[in-house]
Amino acid sequence: LWHRLFTDAHHAVEAAATLPQVDASRITVTGVSQGGGMTIAAAALNHRVIAAMPDVPFMCHLQRAVGLTDAGPYPEVVRLLHTHRDEAEQVMRTLSYFDGAALARRAQAPALFSTGLMDTTCPPSTVFAARNKWGELADAVAAPGTVTSPRPVAEIRVYPYNGHEGGEAYQWREQAAWLADLLAATPS
């Protein structure tokens, strides 16, 4: 399932780039929760993305999330490992292929993350893990023939009194201002 979703995230960017009303040189991606995870995947897997705004992204630092929270879907992994303890290493290795923190390393565009400190679905430390890894491998994964810049900036907005809803309308205003500044500095 996740492999297909990540592939679809890449293809969605490619499809958007073909639309006549889209400036293919200024594609940005955003999403909340699972959509935040897909935002990370799109930015990591497609060099057309010039900005990413993952809000309370799901599927980040899965090993920590499994040991930290009993909010769904992590209990499913816990139940599996409760009865199959000897498979923990293999399960975590398999999950690592779909981990937003691992994918974030491949990102080449700036990002604006958000997290709610009371979020049990996407615990803040897992969001920070993705943000902290953002762009580590940018030079290694650059599209052939492109000149890469230094590691892309990854900012984060923290909402101390919010859970999985994140910053909601306040974050949307933050995103609009951040994106306006970014696009003003980016030639079209």
pLDDT score of 146? 62
pLDDT score of 74? 87
18 within some domain:
no
pLDDT score of 70? 81
144 within some domain:
yes
- Contact by Cβ (8 Å): 65, 121: no
pLDDT band at 142 (very low <50, low <70, confident <90, very high): low
Q: In the predicted model, is pLDDT for residue 147 greater than 60? A: no
Greater pLDDT, 140 or 180:
180
Q: Which residues are catalytic?
A: 33, 119, 164
Which whole-number Å values give the CA distances from 87 to 1, 77, 80, in the listed order?
Answer: 21, 11, 9
Q: What is the residue range of 38's domain?
A: 2-8+23-185
Give the total number of structural domains in the chain: 1
State the Cα–Cα distance between residues 34 and 52, nearest whole angstrom. 14
pLDDT score of 188? 65
Provide the residue count of the chain.
188
